[in-house]
Structure 1
Amino acid sequence: METLEEAELCFPQLNTSCKKRPRSQTESVLIYSLLPCFSLITVVLNLLVIISISHFRQLHTPTNLLLLSLAVSDFLVGLLVSPFQILLAEPCWLLGDLACVLCSLLPFISVPASIVSMVLISVDRYVAICIPLSYYNKITQRTVKRFILLCWFYSVLYNLLFLIDNLRQIGRFNSCYGECVINVNGAVDIVISFIIPISAIIILYVRVFVVAVSQARSMRSHVAAVKLQRSLTVTVQKSELKAARTLGVVVVVFLMCYCPYYGISLSAYNFMMGSLANTFIFFLVIINSCLNPVIYAFFYPWFRKCVKLIITLQILKSNSCQAKVLK
């Protein structure tokens, strides 16, 4: 009987050892089958987005730079967050308290980076649709690059401050040895990282939707009297509206996948790394990171064309970066 009890402990030689957490078959399938599969797909698809926007000069626009930032965040989720989550899902945490805190930094950095990128994308679409005459003066590549750098700097700094209690006294929230628990101030986090940015996104997109509907009605009512110059303006407006619709789908999918994460964060509970709830939350994050390139492939012809050029190794040819991938 004593041997059986010792076998159930993470560290049988320690009196303060945790008991090995039992795992259901559903959880095992999620961790060892679905999570690695979606992780690999996420890495490949987002790498295609990164290569496409980085390589082809025709895609070097402010909006695409924001998509590039989002793709980098999604790529890191698939490459780093998912493997660490599989490691954290083991019945016992064997790497020590310091590694527990450090491993938790990766997912906590990628989440706000994605959210801030979404806010920047919403601002970009708002200016393009609602203030079109000022767009090319206000939204330049240099300006966007600065905001992207600030986005990532903010994500790292915020999460260092966010996890300061866990870093001051490492392992203070663990109830036994072999456990990895991260204290989360849910009330503060959900206001700064969710309510404020998501409210901004919703307000901006509601405004974009209202203006888009107004423009669509105006274009339909005046389509017969459009001159050549006006026709070019209408074409540009249609292009901007299509981009707004596509990015609107990205925002909606983002909200659907991240709301459960912040719903649990709102309860201000301690994250037990590797628990079923924690694994399910990060599985939704992986799904979101995987779906974004799928949305691009469905709505953006240029992305499909870029993928074809990449897969067929056409990008290795000289001057391939000058290829016209936009119609």
Structure 2
Amino acid sequence: MEVEDGAELCFPQLNTSCRKPTFMWSDVVLLQIVLYFVSVLTVALNLLIIISISHFRQLHTNTNTLLLSLAVSDFFVGLVVLPGETLRQTGCWFLGDLMCSLYKYVSFIIATTAVENIVLISVDRYVAICDPLHYPTRVTERRVKLCVCLCWLGSFFYYSLFFKDDLTEPGRYNSCYGQCVFVISYIAGIVDLVVTFITPVTVIIVLYMRVFVVAVSQARAMRSHITAVTLQRSVTVTTKSELKAARTLGGVVAVFLLCFCPYYCVSLAGDTALNGSSAAFVLYLYYFNSCLNPLIYALFYPWFRKTVKLIVTLKILQPGSREANVL
């Protein structure tokens, strides 16, 4: 693809070079500052979770193993995916066609693995609350680690088939040099929509609704055994507990859907559904969920605040710090 003489090119020495994106300089700088800030925040929050769960022995539980896997995937979203997407959307792609294909492959693996980890966490909480007597035998350390490994390996295998042609022939969809585009056929997009969005979201909603129903029924059963003298006080406390559970579960599902639904709706509607800036926004919103996940799943745990203090003050470097009481 040749360009007009005098046009500002990504690679002026090449006639097949792409034109540089036409943005206002101030808009590009502001967007890059915001995106890199979100990227750094995502890396920092998830790194704190990774260090906390990996270092302190009290946090070596099955549930926290799933949180660790989620934090690792979200960490790489902030470290690799968001900076790469910022470069791809706001400037020329200077890393070549092969790196473009690898970036697309890795970014899809990381983002999808984060969704799968959330599903695993939902299953873990469902068994723990709805079938607590069988939780120790059904959710074992070996099974949890196996599920985490299958989660990552499954994503690698799935997207190896998905991007087979792109990986074997890098740059096949780029119209000019200096471009990195994502091209997915309509049928492949529908399959990906079902596998990575509709199915996980359905599982998460069904499990969390079941958890909420069981939690409310248990609270009511406990309330029915309270003596008449303390009945009014217990009703107030239980009502607050039910509302808090509803807000927490509703918040988890709502934030997840808020970040993921727009992206997949646009993918289903096609490239013409939104203009370039709007399409970029829903993509950034999709990745922003990785910044919210550590806040939703870890920031409100008391142990997280304790471990952050120990990490920031470098007390984890002291002998015996792994055995510290953080619960």
Under a length normalisation based on structure 1, what TM-score does the superposition of the two structures give? 0.84
Distance 1:145 1:215, change over 3 A: same
Kept after mapping to 2: 8 A contact 1:186/1:267: no
Amino acid at match of 2:113: A
Q: Deviations over 1:88-126 (max 9, x none)?
A: 134332333222111112221111101110110111111
- Checking the alignment, whether the CA contact within 8 Å between 2:111 and 2:287 is kept in structure 1 is no
Q: Out of 264, 273, 281, which is 2:266 matched to?
A: 264
Structure 1 residue 206 and structure 2 residue 246: aligned?
no
The yes-or-no answer on 1:41 pairing with 2:44 is: no
1:303 matched to which residue of 2? 304
Please give the per-residue CA displacement for 1:45-98, whole angstroms capped at 9, x wherever unaligned: 111111111111111111111111111111111111122122213433233322
What is the rounded CA distance, in whole Å, between the counterparts of 2:120 and 2:298 in structure 1? 21
Q: How far is the alpha carbon of 1:155 from its aligned partner? A: 1.4
Residues of 2 paired with 1:310 and 1:247: CA distance? 29
1:321 Cα deviation after fit: 1.2
Who is 1:155 aligned against?
155
Opposite residue 267 of structure 1, the aligned amino acid is: A
Q: 1:155 to 1:65 in 2, by over 3 A?
A: same
Structure 1 match to 2:189: 186
**Residues 152-187 of structure 1, C-alpha deviations (whole Å, 9 max, x = no match):** 111111122111232243323223333222222311
User: Which residues in structure 2 correspond to 1:98-247 (within 5 Å)?
Assistant: 98-184=98-184, 185-224=188-227
User: Of the candidates 252, 255, 259, which is equivalent to residue 253 of structure 1?
Assistant: 255
Find the residue that maps to 1:176 and give its secondary structure: coil
Identity of aligned residues (%): 58
CA 1:244/1:70 → structure 2, altered by over 3 Å: closer, same or farther? farther
CA–CA separation in structure 1 for the residues paired with 2:31 and 2:217: 48
Cα root mean square deviation, aligned: 2.7
The DSSP-based 3-state class of the residue aligned with 1:321 is: helix
Q: 2: CA distance between counterparts of 1:107 and 1:219?
A: 47
Which 5+ residue runs of structure 1 have no aligned equivalent?
A: 226-238
Q: Distance in 1 between matches of 2:97 and 2:9?
A: 17
* Residue aligned with 2:182, SS: strand
Cα shift at 1:221: 1.5
Query: What CA distance in whole angstroms lies between the structure 2 residues aligned with 1:111 and 1:24?
Result: 30
1:230 alignment counterpart? none
Query: Relative contact order: is structure 1 or structure 2 higher (C-alpha 8 Å, sep ≥ 6)?
Result: 1
Deviation at 1:308, TM superposition (A): 1.0
Q: Is the 1:115–1:197 contact (alpha carbons within 8 Å) kept by the matching residues of 2?
A: yes
Post-superposition shift, 1:209?
1.2
Q: Match for 1:191: what amino acid?
A: V
Q: 1:323 to 1:249 in 2, by over 3 A?
A: farther
Query: 2:9, 2:171 → 1: CA distance?
Result: 18
Query: What letter corresponds to residue 143 of structure 2 in structure 1?
Result: T
Name the CA distance, whole Å, in 2 between partners of 1:245 and 1:150: 32
Q: Which region of structure 1 is more displaced relative to structure 2, 259-268 or 187-196?
A: 259-268
Gaps of 5+ in 2: 229-240
Q: Retained in 2: the 8 A contact 1:254–1:288? A: yes
